[in-house]
Every structure is written in C-alpha cells, then in structure tokens.
Structure 1
C-alpha cells in the first residue's frame, strides 16, 4: 500500500484535508485552499498559497475578497481598518502584548510621549551628507499607526528607511549604493507648478553627486502607489521594480523627470555616457490585489540590494519568488527594522538622526492656555 504523507511530514492512512478558508459571501459559497487555481482579472490564473490564506485571516476577510474576485461588503472595509486616535494604542489593545520587541518599545514610547507632550510628530535630523540638504524631516504619529497596521506608508517613513540603510552600509564599509530622497523627488511635489523646476534640478544634483555608485535607488510615489527605480549610471539603464502590474504609460511622469535630468547630466559630466537611458522592468515580487503594502515591497527590494545578498544571489532569489507574495514574516521584519531605527537613531539623543527639540511642554499647560483663549 502506498504511504501518504501530510505537509508536516506525518504519515497515515489518509491524506490531510487542504487548508480551507470558507467564504461568507452567500452568492458564491466558494471555498479556497492551498494549491487551488483561480482566475483573477488582470492577473490571469493565480495559484493560492498559504500566504494568501494567512493575509486573508489577518484581515478577517476571505481569500476571494483578498484577490478581488469577491466584493467586499459595504461595512467590511471600515470594520477591518482601525482608525488613528491620538493617545490611543496603535493596535488593538489585546494585540499590544503580542508586538515584537522593538515595535513594543516604540509603542510604549508613543503612549508616553502623547501623555506628556502636545506634539504631533517625531522630528528626524537630515544632514548635508544624507540627502545633500540639511533639514528636519517630520514623521507624524499617525504614520506610526500606519506602520503598525501594515497600511500605506508615507514618504517620511520610506525616507527614514533609506537613511537607515545609508547608516548601515556606511558603518559596515559597504559602498556602491546611493539613495535619492523620496520626499524630494515624487509625483505629488512635481505636479505643484512652483516646485516642478526644483524637483528636476534636485534630480540632476542627485545624479551628479551619486554617480560613483553602481546603483542609485529612487523610491518613487505616485497615485498612492510605490515603485523602486534602480538607476545604473555606468550602464545607462533604469530598472523599474513594481509589485503591481502597471502600464508603461503610468511611469510617464517619472520617466520624464529622470530622462530630462539625464540629458543635462551627460552634458555637464565628463565621461562616456549612453545618450538615452534604457528603461526595463524585470520580474518582481507581487503584492496581493486589494492590499496597500507596496511600500513594504520597495523596502524589501532595498534591503535585498543593500543588506542581504550579492547581485547574482539577488537575481537567483527573484527567479525563485517572482510569482510569490512577500511573506508576512518579512513584512513584520521590516516593521521591526524601522521601529528599531526610530528608537536607536532618531529618538535616542545619541542617535545619528536625533533632532534636538525644546523640553516637552506638559499637555495640561497647553490645555489651560487653550481654555483661557476661549
């Protein structure tokens, strides 16, 4: 008799039933399990993995709703999204104790600071050698809420992630990767007429100052979505890493910004340069439809390039995971990384990015002053 084996390695006379998440949508009454192939508009046939099932369970929805092949109930979207309230826990109260170490510590700091201060944001010191412009970067406390809940991340958090990798690579003596500030070069700022010229001037300046690097990374935000551009100056190429299936025309604005800066760069910089940049889009990690974790995919690509693997290893890794979702554990690891950076390098007075502020003004004084003006 042929022996049956479960995925966990147990043996027995019967095959273990597949992992199933039943739907609550009455019109389909479908069931989803690992290994099942379903058709998803714009993606084609998708094989359901444990990662799909884990994300659906975390969001308290069905796999069909996660993949956008079943509609969400009108109230469901509001039910699964907790709203930010200043001074309240950043996650459900019962989940606080389950937070990993650095997120737990950052959560404790946030709860304390909102009790003793009227401030609404965390300030980050940006020096000249970080983004070639000394300034203060503001990370609003509401962005910490988004970070803790795997919601869409703002430019300030992604900018912090880049600075964290700058610090790591410099400390480890690893060179060859430069970063363009996503707070400076992004579609929202470029669309402001009085900022457009400054954005393109900054893009040129970044190319001139970072041209000794093999890879210049630009996390770029447009239409509430994040992509990562890897500009290879010596090769005259731009690699577009996008976790969604966007049309080439969706990149027209950023392509124009970079191409115009490149045209000026090759005129003012000595060397043999390709006259026109070659743009291409390799296979990349894909995010589940309906999720807002594109910034985490950008950060994961940055981590792969800056911290974890050599170029050849990275290409092999992409080949292995090109059709997979980013595992939940890796998203959690990114959250922990960012929390640790904010604690050690921004909040700690000895940190590289600590921004000195006046002593905290007790909230009770602020409230009394406000009441006195009423």
Structure 2
C-alpha cells in the first residue's frame, strides 16, 4: 500500500532526539525547547513563538487570548469545511458565537466574498485548507475593525507575498503532527507579534505559573511541548529546505501529468501553497467509490474535510453548505510524502486516470 503520508526522518535529523534522551531532560525543560523556538523565529520572522503539545492547544490559546484581551469581540466567523479542531478550539471557551461561510469552489478555502460586513465585534479565523494560503494582509485591509487570526496548522512553509503564513495576523497556531511537512510527532506552536498577547498566553500555557515557582496566579493549562518533541522538531526545521524541495518536485509532476484529467485548488494571486497535501477534484466523482477503487489498487487516499454539520455536536449550525458538500464528495487527497519515489508516484497518477475513466 502506498501511504497517504510518511514523515521525513533521517538519521541526522533524529540525532537530536537521541541527545535529548541521553541528557535525561525528557519533559518540558531542556535545551531543545529554546533551540526549536529560536529556529522557528529565525525562519518565520515572527517576534514570539511558544511551543505547545499540539496544534489544537495552540489554537485554543489563540481563542483564549482573544477572549481575555477583547471580551467584546464575540462573533466568530470561519469556514465550514475544516478539520474539526478549527472549530473545537473556539467552542472550548463558550464565549464566541460561531458562524460559518460556505467554501469557495476554486480555492477550497472559505468564500471570502461571502464574509459579512466589517464589524468591531467580529473575529475572523482564517484556515488555510490543505495548505492553500489565504492572503491575510489583504484581508486585514478589507476588515480593519475585525480581529484576524490564523489556524495555520496546515500552512507551514506557505507564503502571502514575501511573508510566511501565520505571521501577519494578531495570533496564529501551527501544528507539527506526524503527517505535517515539519513534525515533532505531536506538537504545535503559538505565534504572535504582540508582547501583551505573548505574556498572557505564556502564563496560561504553563499552568498559570506566577513569577514565584509553585505559586499560580490564574487558571492555566498544561500545553507544554517536551524536550524530546522539540529535539525532533529542531532536526526537522534544519531539514526544512530539503523537505520543501522534495515536496515541490512531487507537486510539479502531479500538476503536469494530471492537468488534463482533474481540477486543482486555485491559489490566490501573490501566495505560495505550503504543499502540505495534494488534492484533486473529479467532477461527478463520489469519494466512497474512489476510496474503494484506490484501495483495491494499493493506494491510500483521504477525503477533503467534511462540512461542519456532519459532526454530531455541530449539526445545528445553520448556513449554506452546498460547495463544502460538493468538495467532500468529489475531492481526493493523494500521497505526497517527501520520499515518494517517481515509480510510486507514476503508479498513483495511472490509478487516478483509471479512476476518472472508471466513473
């Protein structure tokens, strides 16, 4: 079976994890936590980075700090076809009134033309679906009254203009889950350029710890990354240029060889896709049929994210779901891991063509 994803882990990359284990600093203290944070700051050009135990925790910290610093902003607007954590992290607070807009049939992100008028009480949570980057700087100009944040968990390495995704909004969340371009096995990061937001989040992130050890000034969370995870992440960040180069080559071959067979995500002008997951759309296709077809051929695929109302705790959400439903039915995510060989990729490409002919 050709897997949908496999992390790029070299011996050189993993030597840092072995060093962390040998040091016996295996919990939330150790040199690699600082090293990985500094490396992220260097790559991204963002003022503050705080490593977390996963991307969902990072996004919860985003929602929490907005709640604390801007209590009057209660209207949350985001897309209707994301991974469920993109909504859950806001629901944990029970402060925000969640509303969604339908997907864009070309970008597969939220339809920016369907966003309501700018309002001072609004928070817009931008999600870069599969790594397709939304032009956040342009959105900030269009909605100056709203607070704009990013769920950049699928967007590491993507660009709007010359800036990395996640660095131009008030705050954002990254994920380093095992299937991400850059992984720590499990992990995430909170990003912001705001000193006030960072200082508040750092307290919440570490159990509400005050300046005096074991005295806690407020209710907090244990969202810290371990030194072992940070060591893996540090090695991955050093390999980032090679990982991204490998992904680019895979994407170029897919786009060139399937251009007359399927549809792709459309990129916004002036943006660069993070190349996380390569998706195709087969008009008239049915994902359930596709999954069985590809499985018989020995190729693992996955669907596009389902509309929010497919989830039990969001069934009462109102709004148009038409495009999100169409995308979840017709889109297929293909294997695109960095070590995918030309031979295996050619086999996947041939399988796509056979599927298109089959339906």
TM-score normalized by the length of structure 2: 0.22
Over alpha carbons, which structure has the higher Rg?
Answer: 1
Greater per-residue helix proportion: 1
Larger RCO: Structure 1 or Structure 2 (Cα < 8 Å, ≥ 6 residues apart)? 2
